[in-house]
Amino acid sequence: MDWSFLAFVIFATIAILGSLMVILQKTPVSSAFSLVLVFFSFAGLYALLGAHFIAALQILVYTGAIMVLFVFVIMLLGQDEKTTDIKDTSLLFKGVTTLGAIGLLSVFLRAVMGSKEIVAKGQYSEEKIKELGGNLQAISEVLFKDYVFHFELVSFLILGAIVATVALAKRKNTYSGEYHE
């Protein structure tokens, strides 16, 4: 058996089972740790696709930064009690959701079927990337030549996120209505 296929099967199984565990676990902490599993297996899938830079970034950004944020917030909120909090919804809502899910599924199936007819027209084939000196070199060439303006715009987004988070954190409790238990 092909090794890369074996790796794909392992990573894909961990990804799907882990994401099922994320939404089915009762405590948020176990959901968070299942999410770590999913992120690691996604990094493996990126590496299988030849996107080595994205795989490294996935581990750095998601497992490193975002998961620490999540676990930290779970610690702050003290959310360690078990909750069986599946929403009880009306029949109309269930019907609309089912219809929407069927529509989404057909769009996905169309995309998956259509992916077989795609003709590779871009210039960055595997040989070209190898010639340039690897995935990271090729990405940085595209990023800092064609997309440098967008790259700078993203820094404004991060600045906005920082300002928003600080404003949220410094806000005093101003709501004085009644709370529903």
Considering only residues 150 through 179, tell me which ones interact with other proteins, judged by CB under 8 A.
150, 154, 157-158, 160-161, 164-165, 168-169, 171, 173, 175, 177-179
Residue 34: exposure state from Cβ atoms within 10 A (0-12, 13-18, ≥19): buried
Residue 137 makes contact with other proteins by CB under 8 A = no
Residue 118 makes contact with other proteins by CB under 8 A = yes
Selected from 95, 102, 104, 106, the binder of other proteins by CB under 8 A is: 104
Residue 108 makes contact with other proteins by CB under 8 A = yes
Over the window 17 to 36, marking each residue x when it contacts other proteins by CB under 8 A and - when it does not, the resulting string is --xx-xx----x--xx--x-
Assess contact for 59 and 43: CB atoms under 8 A: yes
Give the nearest distance from C-beta 113 to other proteins in angstroms.
8
Residue 102 makes contact with other proteins by CB under 8 A = no
Selected from 90, 91, 122, 152, the binder of other proteins by CB under 8 A is: 122
d(CA 73, CA 99): 35
Residue 73 makes contact with other proteins by CB under 8 A = yes
Residue 75 makes contact with other proteins by CB under 8 A = no
**Rounded to the nearest 5 degrees, what angle is found at the Cα of 83, between the Cα atoms of 67 and 59?**
15
Give the nearest distance from C-beta 61 to other proteins in angstroms.
5
Assess contact for 59 and 39: CB atoms under 8 A: yes
Residue 149 makes contact with other proteins by CB under 8 A = no
Assess contact for 48 and 8: CB atoms under 8 A: yes
What is the Cα gyration radius of the chain?
A: 22
d(CA 168, CA 109): 41
Give the nearest distance from C-beta 92 to other proteins in angstroms.
14
C-alpha dihedral (37, 38, 39, 45), degrees to nearest 10: 110
Give the nearest distance from C-beta 118 to other proteins in angstroms.
5
